[in-house]
Amino acid sequence: MLIKNIYKLYSKTKIASRVAKQSLLLCAFMVCGFATVFAHGFNVDSTKSPALKDTSYKKFTYFRFGVDLSKIVRSQLAKDYKTYEFQIDANFSKQTSLAFEFGGGNSQVDNAFLVYKSSSVFGRLGIDKTFFNTEFKGDMDNAFVGIRLAFSPIQRNNATFVIKDQFWGDTSGVINSTRFNAMWIELNGGFRVELYKNIFAGWNVRAKTFLNPKRFELLPPSYLAGYGRGDKNTAFDFNFYILYGIGKRN
C-alpha cells in the first residue's frame, strides 16, 4: 500500500514536472518568437544598467506628431463611415511616454430597418511603456504596451426605423436626435521604428471596452470615431501611424 502511494505520488510529481517543463518550453517558445519578431534592440547589456538610473533625465523634450494612415485607407474603402485619427506623444521617462490621440468621424446607417447619421470626435490620453533597452543614445525603436482613457461627444441625428412584419404589417417611427458622451478604456500594444531621422512608422492594436455601456442600448452610432462599432461593448482596432518627431532626445 505504502509502495503504491509512493508510486502514485511519484507519478503525479513526474506528470507535474512534465507539465511544468512543457509550460516552460511553451513560454520560452513564445518569448523567443516575440524576440524574433521584435529582435531589434533585445540586447540586454548589464554595463548599461547604471545609465537607466540616470536622474538627469529630462521629461517632455521630444515630441512626435502622427497621423493614422490605416484610418485614411479604411475611410476610402468603407461605404458607411469616414474617420481620421492623430497622435501626439512625448517622452516622460526612459521607458515611458505620454500619448494624446484625437480625431473624429461620421457614419451613416441606411438599411432596410434603420436610417440615420451620426458624428463624433474623441480624445484619448494615456501612457505607453516600452519593452526593450535602447541600443544607443536617442534610439527610439521599440515595442510597447499602453493604456488609454478615452472620451467622445457624439451627435446622432433623427433615426427612422422600420420593424418588418409580414402578418400584421410593418411598424415605422422616428427616434429623435440626441447628443451624448461615450467613455472607454483601452489596452494597446504596438511597435515604432524610425525609418529616417525623426520620421517614425508603426502600428498599434487595441482592445477597448465602454465605461458607460448603458448609454448605447437605445441607438448607438454605427461607427464611433476612435472606438469602432458603437453597438459592441468591446471592440478591437488597428492603427498604422506615420509620425514626425521634434525636440531633443535623452
Partner 1 sequence: MDSAVSMKKYTPMVFRLLILSFVTFALHSCTQNNTCLTPKSVALRAGFYKTINDTTTQDSLLTNANIIADQSAQFYGINFKQTSKFSMTLSGLTNTTRLFFQSDSASFDPSTFDTIDVNYTSQLNFISVACGYENYFTLSSLQSTHNTIDTVKLSQSLVDGDVNKEHIQIVLKN
Residue 168 interacts with partner 1 (CB under 8 A): yes or no: yes
Residue 231 interacts with partner 1 (CB under 8 A): yes or no: yes
Tell me the residue type at 168.
W
Phi, psi angle pair for 153, to nearest 5°: -80, 135
Residue 72 makes CB contacts below 8 A (sequence gap 6+) with: 84
Torsion of CA 47, 50, 54, 55, to 10 degrees: 180
Residue 50 interacts with partner 1 (CB under 8 A): yes or no: no
Residue 193 interacts with partner 1 (CB under 8 A): yes or no: yes
Q: How far apart are the two ends of the chain, measured CA to CA in Å?
A: 69
Residue 196 interacts with partner 1 (CB under 8 A): yes or no: yes
Cell 480625431 sits on residue: 103
- Three cell numbers written together for 250: 535623452
Asked if 66 contacts 103 with a C-beta cutoff of 8 angstroms, the reply is no
In the list 53, 179, 197, 214, the residue contacting partner 1 (rule: CB under 8 A) is: 197
Minimum distance, C-beta of residue 244 to partner 1, in the bound complex (Å): 16
Stretch that binds partner 1, among 1-9, 26-34, 84-92, 162-170 (CB under 8 A): 162-170
Closest CB to partner 1 among residues 3, 77 = 77
Binding region for partner 1 (CB under 8 A): 37, 40, 70, 80, 109, 111-114, 136, 138, 141, 161-163, 165-169, 171, 173, 191, 193-197, 201-203, 205, 217-220, 222, 229-231, 236-238, 240
